[in-house]
Structures are given as structure tokens and as C-alpha cells.
Amino acid sequence: MKILKNIINVDELKKIAEASFGDLVKAVVDVDRELVAIDAELHSDLEALLLEDGSKQCNLWGINFYPEIEEDNFIEFDSLINLRPSQGNMTRGVGSNDIQAKIVSIVNKWVKR
């Protein structure tokens, strides 16, 4: 479990996936601080790591990386931490297209495909 400090490539994500879930890597993105935390069994563990590092919960969104898949399906916007009625997000997904676009932009800074 770590907050990315250096750019990571897809081959590294594949190794992380193989060591845990096989085909996916869980991640949490801080859309304000533009940080990505990866490699935990639960999104909530990554959320806690970022909160301890100074992030605010309202800026944290859970996603999954599928390193074997290219293009649009590389990122899956699905996590229990995304369920937040107080912010108008009523599902495990990320309902806002603006937030999804921000997540993709941040991921593209940290993950080279």
C-alpha cells in the first residue's frame, strides 16, 4: 500500500495485480491534491492512508485499474467509498463526468501506458 511518489508503468501494475487480485489493482485518487494511492485489499485502506497524509475525504474517489485492458476500460469507477449521498453521489460509481475527467487526467500523470 503506497501513495505514488514516482510515475508507475503498466508493467508494474500488472505485477501488483498478479500478486493480489490477479487482474486488477485498487486505487484511490485525491482530485484536489492530485495524488494516487495503490495496492491494498480495500479501497477504504487507501482512503485511510491518504487521510493520514492530509487529504480530505470529500476529494477521495475509489477506482480500479485493469492493467491488461487498454483504452477506456483501463479505469473502472467503482468503490464503496464513492457512495456518498451527502455529496449527491448515490452509487458506487463516480456520477460526475467532471470528476471522472479529473480522475483520468490525474491517472494519466502518474501511470504511463
Residue 76, Cβ density class (10 Å: 0-12 exposed, 13-18 middle, ≥19 buried): middle
At 54-96, the pLDDT tens digits run 999 999 999 999 999 987 799 999 999 999 999 999 999 999 9
Whether residue 10 is predicted with pLDDT greater than 90 in this model: the reply is yes
- The one-letter code for the residue type at 30 is D
pLDDT, residue 17, reads: 97
Residue ranges per domain, the chain?
Answer: 2-112
**Global pTM value:** 0.96
Backbone angles phi, psi at 27, to 5 degrees: -150, 155
At 15-49, the pLDDT tens digits run 999 999 999 999 999 999 999 999 999 999 999 99
* Residue 62, strand partner residues: 28
**CA atoms of 94 and 49, how far apart (whole Å):** 20
pLDDT, residue 70, reads: 80
**CA atoms of 22 and 32, how far apart (whole Å):** 30
